[in-house]
Amino acid sequence: MSDKIKYELEFPIQSSPKLLFQYLSTPSGLSEWFADNVNSRGELFTFIWDDSEEKAKLLSKKTDDRIKFRWLDDEDEPYFFELRIQVDELTKDVSLMVTDFTDEDELDEAKMLWENQISELKHVLGSA
């Protein structure tokens, strides 16, 4: 199995960290932009798209700051994806930092997928 590479993306978002965090950390919020439907039982989140279903474990969460998941397919691997809210101390501009892993030959595709997802998130937030 090939090693995946870590990458980080930054998306400026016009939203309060508190509101944004609701869309990153709750099943109802995530199902508005990340997947067609999201269910959770404790630390286990199920993401549903059309006919496919992926399960992820919640690794850590800090209210109004960050949330980190690991896909169960990668449970024996060190890979995760993290959504972190960053606020500029001077301007108070809010950015969403996405950290994820992918195979090197799929990097452009993975980045484009996140760009599309975050574009949907901005649309839902009225931040587009």
Convert the pLDDT of each residue in 84-111 to its tens digit: 999 999 999 999 999 999 999 999 999 9
CB 113 within 8 A of CB 26: no
**25: closest CA among 45, 7, 10, 6?**
45
Set out the domains of the chain in order of their start, with CATH numbers.
5-125 (3.30.530.20)
Burial (CB < 10 A; 0-12, 13-18, 19+), residue 85, is buried
Angle between helix 107-125 and helix 17-25 axes, rounded to 10 deg: 120
Helix (H) or strand (E) holding 73: none
Predicted structure pTM score: 0.93
